[in-house]
Structure 1
Amino acid sequence: MSLSEIKASTDNRMGKSIESLKTGLAKIRTGRATAGLLDHVQVEYYGSMVPVSQVGNITVVDARTLNVQVWEKHMAGPIEKAIRDSDLGLNPISMGESIRVPMPALTEERRRDLAKVVRSEGEDAKVAIRNLRRDANDTLKKQVKDKEISEDEERRAQDEVQKLTDKYVAEVDKLIAQKEAEIMTV
């Protein structure tokens, strides 16, 4: 592997860690209705588990209400049950072929708990990024040992990997700060 390939691979994998963090943060409910909130809620549909978005149209009615327009009438019950049984703490209301999902207001204590969850998600992302840095540095050390690159090249490459790491850790910090601000806003 060339130095540029190592750097590109590390950059790509660190970018995927950021995307994973964004996905994880999107699942954390803030009291504001977003269509993406139900993305990870699965419902059984003809023997297989599928996301709610594949059996109905999810729309935001207002800041505190989602609406799921069911495409097949017999799916209303299972969708309602799947939303109720999810870890989101939501209480959907079935209205024939549509399901209204009101967002309960968050208490101060619940907001603090969610902020802790957000920080934990951020720390997990940082650990993943640091593990990628370690993997890249191990690859560089192995190349020095095998006499594929010089120690100076290794040092320069390690500096570049560290700069990438710093950039992505700063991105994680920024995302965490934004999500915490969003959660703590009443």
Structure 2
Amino acid sequence: MLEFFLERANYWAIIGLMMIGLYITFASNNFIKRLVGISLFQTSVCLFYVTLGKIAGGTAPILYGPDAVEHGGGHAGEAVHHAVAVPGGHAMGNISAPVELVNIYSNPLPHVLMLTAIVVGVATLSVGLALIVRIREAYGTIEGDEVRAIDLETALAQETELDAQLGEAGA
């Protein structure tokens, strides 16, 4: 049982980071702390996807050794095309046949997608911080409860002023 948990320690760490990030996001009234929680949650999602793409004993997906010589003559950029027979007796050219590789390679797609997610996350964080600066300039605070209280006071004052103007116009 202990071995089961130790083999999946990275997943437990990711789940812990996710829960911490969600807790910070929902429990805090401070806008900057909320952004930190969202960033922590996003980081844990990126770690999760990168973990899914890693294969034990796998290397970067660059052909080397027997794979490079057998499939492309040492030129990894060249595609290997074979004529493949399909049902019905027709031969289709320029279709890659299944390739048997000697080495084990990790899947690069999750890593590439997470690089994009990191860039989007940093951009979103910077926009959020810029909005917090504007909120601080407008309200004098970055606490959610205080901002709501100021908004409520302002709305009530505007409603009272509007009622007074309508009462004067009707008289």
Larger-Rg structure: 2
TM-score band by shorter chain is 0.3 to 0.5
Question: What TM-score does the superposition give when structure 2 sets the normalisation length?
Answer: 0.33
* TM-score, normalised with respect to structure 1: 0.31
**Which structure shows the higher strand fraction?**
1
